[in-house]
Amino acid sequence: MNTEQSQLAEPLHVWSQHTLPITDLQCGAGGALARAATSFLDQTAKLWSIPSGDLLMSILFDVRIMAVTLDPTEYHMFCGVSNGSIFQVDLRARPVQRDRAFQTEKESSRMFRGHRNQVMCLSVSKNGQLLLSGSHDETVQLWDIQSKQCLQTVVHKGPVTNAVITPAPVSMFSTDSRPSIPLPRFSKHLQGAESNDEQGSGGVTIRLGLHQQGSAETYLQKADRLHGLMCDSLDKSDLGDSEQLMVRVTELKDEVSTLRKINKDLFNFSARIITKP
């Protein structure tokens, strides 16, 4: 994509040499000089040059291609097909042909067999030795590329649509590993810094104004007290004129609503301060 000339993104290349829908698209690991592999329902897989946008190779199969990927060196293309097989295509084969056909009978040694339904995703390890495949037969299989043998099968409860090999994090192998940015445990109640240090809980202390520390009445306590007074006023029969009673009740309701809003704003402000990165 090119975004330097205008704010609207424009494609550097448009590839339209295909007659049926695209099923998969993968870019190699060569950066700006990498190649891209595409697969289509027209039983072809194509290899493209990203810098120039040229079509480098078109490979015709006798079955629909559902998934495609490249190894890290971009020497081989792996194609998952609708019958459950996986084909390995040597991109360095001689003589070099722009249009070639993958002959299943002659190239059976370059096939992975094990899935019972169409292969939907493929991924190659960084060292180029392992291949991971996911299928609609509800399994993920790990293959040794050189021997074409399945090393492990993981059963799922539904069709597998995506699977990727990623480097394992250091924390999986080191018991002493610690997160680079530890997140403190949040306290379930407000408490002073002194009590927090004594308990060593590692919680987050919320400091409020002086008017809310010590024995001072909080906004929430004041709102509850006013609400209680309002309820008591409704229960008494000697308050005089009914209009004065309704006015007083309305005033108390407004004050309670205002105090509850202030308390909510204080809570939201404290939460933003705590969670601020």
Q: What is the pLDDT of residue 228?
A: 75
Angle, CA of 28, 30 and 31, to the nearest 5°: 105
Name the residue among 219, 234, 227, 225 with its Cα closest to residue 252. Answer: 227
pLDDT digits (tens, 9 = 90+) for 184-232: 676 665 554 444 444 444 555 555 554 444 555 666 677 777 777 767 6
CA dihedral (72, 78, 79, 85) positive or negative: negative
Query: How far out from the chain centre does Cα 96 lie?
Result: 40
Range of the domain at 211: 193-275
Strand partners, 153: 141
197 plus 160 within the same structural domain: no
28 plus 160 within the same structural domain: yes
162 plus 199 within the same structural domain: no
User: What total number of domains does the chain contain?
Assistant: 2
pLDDT digits (tens, 9 = 90+) for 2-18: 555 556 778 888 888 87
| Pairing mode, strands 99-101 and 55-60 | parallel
| pLDDT tier, 95 (very low <50, low <70, confident <90, very high otherwise) | confident
Q: For residue 268, is pLDDT > 90?
A: no
**How many percent of the chain have pLDDT more than 70?**
77
Residue 42 in domain: yes
- CA 91 to CA 134: how far, in whole Å? 23
- CA 91 to CA 229: how far, in whole Å? 85
129 plus 204 within the same structural domain: no
Token pair belonging to 260: 């509850």
Cβ neighbours around 165 below 10 Å, total? 14
160 plus 43 within the same structural domain: yes
More confident position, 36 or 8: 36
Q: For residue 151, is pLDDT > 70?
A: yes
Q: For residue 121, is pLDDT > 90?
A: yes
Choice among 51-60, 115-124, 194-203 with the minimum mean pLDDT: 194-203
pTM above 0.85, yes or no: no
121: which residues sit within 8 A by CB, 6+ positions away?
24, 67, 80, 133, 134, 160, 161, 162, 163, 164
| Of the residues 130, 151, 166, the one at which a domain ends | 166
Q: What is the pLDDT of residue 194?
A: 47
Question: 41: exposed, middle or buried (C-beta count within 10 Å: 0-12, 13-18, 19+)?
Answer: middle
